[in-house]
């Protein structure tokens, strides 16, 4: 049996000021959705004796998949941002109120989501070096040194 990770309410800063009027509760629901997704896949893989998803596929593939699931989960839970539907567009989430729509190669505002299977300190240094705001979470119980992270773009959000 594989344990399913759950976010713990006491680990969230309810007073955090997030960009684009995102609510902490919206992000928490998105994180829990990602946990349910990973648990469902890993339970299925375990029944077929294939191990865990992060061991089955390459790290960069897992990271890309996780990034996409995080983006779609936040977009589904949040009212203020939508998924950028332009393939390869930047950033991943753009304000829902953007007059140019939800498919843009480059948008001046939004949230870029990056996941990393590396150590937390390496990911944080990379994001801070690029001028972003660090957000860390989503530890996997089977891999305590693996995290997902997100960078808010631009760093001086409204």
Q: What is the pLDDT of residues 11-52, one digit of tens each?
A: 787 888 888 888 888 988 998 898 899 899 999 999 999 988
- Say if residue 158's pLDDT is above 70: no
Taking each helix axis as running N to C, give the angle between helix 24-47 and helix 59-77, from 0 to 180 degrees, rounded to the nearest 10. 140
How many structural domains compose the chain? 1
> What's the domain range around 147?
17-153
Pick from 100, 93, 147: which is nearest to 120 by CA? 147
Confidence of residue 135 (pLDDT cuts 50, 70, 90): low
Q: What is the pLDDT of residues 62-119, one digit of tens each?
A: 888 988 999 999 999 999 999 999 998 988 999 999 999 999 998 888 888 877 766 5
What is the number of alpha carbons within 13 Å of residue 11 lying toward its C-beta? 11
Structure tokens at 106: 């480059």
pTM of the entire predicted model: 0.78
Residue 143 lies in a domain: yes
Residue 8 lies in a domain: no
Residue 2 lies in a domain: no
Average pLDDT over the chain reads 77
Residue 4 lies in a domain: no
Residue 12 lies in a domain: no
């Amino acid at each position: 049996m594989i344990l399913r990770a759950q976010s713990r309410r006491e680990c969230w800063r309810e007073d955090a000021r997030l960009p684009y009027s995102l609510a902490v509760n919206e992000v928490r629901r998105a994180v829990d959705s990602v946990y349910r997704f990973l648990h469902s896949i890993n339970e299925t893989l375990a029944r077929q004796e294939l191990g865990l998803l992060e061991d089955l596929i390459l790290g960069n593939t897992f990271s890309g998949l996780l990034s996409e699931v995080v983006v779609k989960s936040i977009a589904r839970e949040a009212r203020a941002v939508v998924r950028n539907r332009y393939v390869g567009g930047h950033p991943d989430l753009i304000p829902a109120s953007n007059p140019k729509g939800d498919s843009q190669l480059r948008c001046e505002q939004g949230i870029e989501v990056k996941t990393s299977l590396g150590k937390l300190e390496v990911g944080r240094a990379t994001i801070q070096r690029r001028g972003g705001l660090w957000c860390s979470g989503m530890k996997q119980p089977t891999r305590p040194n693996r995290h997902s992270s997100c960078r808010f773009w631009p760093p001086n959000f409204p």
